[in-house]
Structure 1
Amino acid sequence: MNRIVEKRNLSEDVFRFTFEAPNIARERKAGQFLIVQLDNDFAERFPLTIADADKEKGTVDIIFQAVGASTLKLAALEEGDSIANVLGPLGMPTHIEKLENPVVCVGGGIGVAPMHPIVEANRAVGNKIIVIMGARNKDLLIMEEEMKALADELIVVTDDGSYGRKALVTEPLKELCESNQPPAQVIAIGPPI
């Protein structure tokens, strides 16, 4: 159980793992997370958000940045390896309801990963969705195709202007909030600006 079936390097030190976890795949909701323990000897347990899940295949996707001891050890695992203990889904799911005005989902950097299930859930209830995603540069953008497939409008920004619009995510957000159809709700996940 919890066998890694796919490992992808998305950008510098950012990885996407797909692993077997049929119960979690079946039960997870937008906004929930997992507690991961890599092996029974390595006692640290750490949280990771669920980026996606496939109920039919019984798999869960996590996207993480390898920055500390635990995530560096996780990044060293390969396809076919197993994660010893995965507890979840945990946490209060994000409240999703049908709204008249658009829902704006803002994801910065690695924050795009936990935003994905929230965008999916808003799509499922019929909300108009505008996604603003940003990163320091083009090479650090993740999940653009997935967001493009779900959003009614996708705005991509990079700090250095190497892709999309040169801006911080707050600039197009401010423009949308000042428009003649301001968002009913804004959900933002990402690093501090």
Structure 2
Amino acid sequence: TRGFFQRTQPGCPGISMHTDGQPHGSDLFGYEGSCPRLIRVLYYLDELTPDRAPFRLVPRSHISFHAEASPYVRYKSHPEEITLVVPAGSAVLVPSMLMHGSHPNRDPRPRELLQFGYRPAWAGPIQPVDEWDPELVANAPDIAKPFLQSLNTSSFQWEQPHKPEGMRTEAPGINPSRWGDK
């Protein structure tokens, strides 16, 4: 998926609590957020202090199936939200269904970050999205070009028989035992 640079200027009012996933698309982001599996990496170029637009989140909200966790709902605040203050150079991983936002920037300096979205190739958007700017891809360093593949890649097959031939009996990627005894 995409990445971008974000600058939060002094006086910015902050961002309401929201999720980045919109499984049916949205008026705001089109079908960019419709990928069934998506994680964002926020790489903070500046220290997050309590006054410098710190990140806030509701722990474990990404695993809730309750209507109040709908990806189309926004909240001003939440009584169990926590605030992250981290040093410059920190990366915060945000699952697409995590309820999160930011506090206002009351610091006299801007807060800057790089944001990248990642998804598995099978987890493409449910409808086509705009591709990368061809000029950006053409001018990208060779080391970056493998990451600038089609944004519409999806290897998922929607039509599945109930009992396909050759079904597997192992799936280590979903084994509960891979998490240890915790």
TM-score scaled by structure 2?
A: 0.28
Larger Rg: 2
Higher RCO (CA 8 Å, separation ≥ 6 residues) = 2
Q: Normalized per residue, which structure has more strand?
A: 1
TM-score scaled by structure 1?
A: 0.27
Q: Normalized per residue, which structure has more helix?
A: 1
